[in-house]
Amino acid sequence: MSQTSPPPLTSLLRSYDHVLLDLDGCLWVGGAATRDAPRALDALRAAGKHVAFVTNDTRSTAEEYVRKLWSLGFKAALEEVVTVGGALQHQLAERHGARRATAYVIGTPAILKHVADAGLRVVNGTPHAPQAEVVVAAGHDALVFEELRIATQALLAGADFVAAGRDRTFPMPDGMWPATGALVAALEYASGRTALSVGKPEPEIFATALDRLGPGRALVVGDRLDSDLGGAHAAGLDGAIVLTGATTHSEAHAASDPAPVAIAPDLATLVLG
């Protein structure tokens, strides 16, 4: 019985060895895959392209992202997922883990685990929280004023300030929701301090993905000009923009420093034409 041949890739995608894919706004919006995105990913794999999923989303662990990818029809392996939580853990371990610094963490349970695994002592829920030596900020859906108050007090007392990223928003089915960058902006304004950001557009998270993929020419695909396209540029990589998330048609076509190598309505169009 003959097998159906995989669909051919566009000439753009044929010229790359690796594809680094954003998640929110690129592969999915909320709980639904973007149009034909699973088929596009299958075509990349069938053509021998190596894939990594690189995300600034702080709400889940790498294992949870793998489960979500499979549930939406995407084939994925754990080693292909590069999260900002992992980058955050690496940064904190290098800077603060050896001395077992205390940390006040705004974020999901996944982020709290990354901070603890970095060797820091999480003091959330204790009287010592306003005197924490490090404040870690990552957006989450249950944010309350008390978290802002404690983090501000710790920062004003001299705590180091580390953020999981600066994305202003992320796309959901009912429109854009505030992301980690909105939280970080509030804390920076309240404290007069500037956070060290470890997520996109910082180049380290892309370098982590490329270390796993090996040598070859890589394309970054995402929906944001600031974090995806800007991060690709900072890492010395080409970037393409899809219009299923944060960036409008006019914004994408106006981008010039850097300019995307391609703009497409969605991932399937970019990959398959």
- Catalytic site positions: 22, 24
| Omega cis (within 30) before 201 | yes
132 vs 44: CA distance, rounded Å: 46
51 forms beta bridges with 19
CA distance 197 to 194: 9
Helix%, strand%, coil% for the chain, nearest 5:
40, 20, 40
C-alpha span between 166 and 228 (Å, rounded): 12
Q: Are strands 238-242 and 218-222 parallel, antiparallel or unpaired?
A: parallel
CA geometry: angle at 149 spanning 144 and 152, to 5°? 130
SS3 219: strand
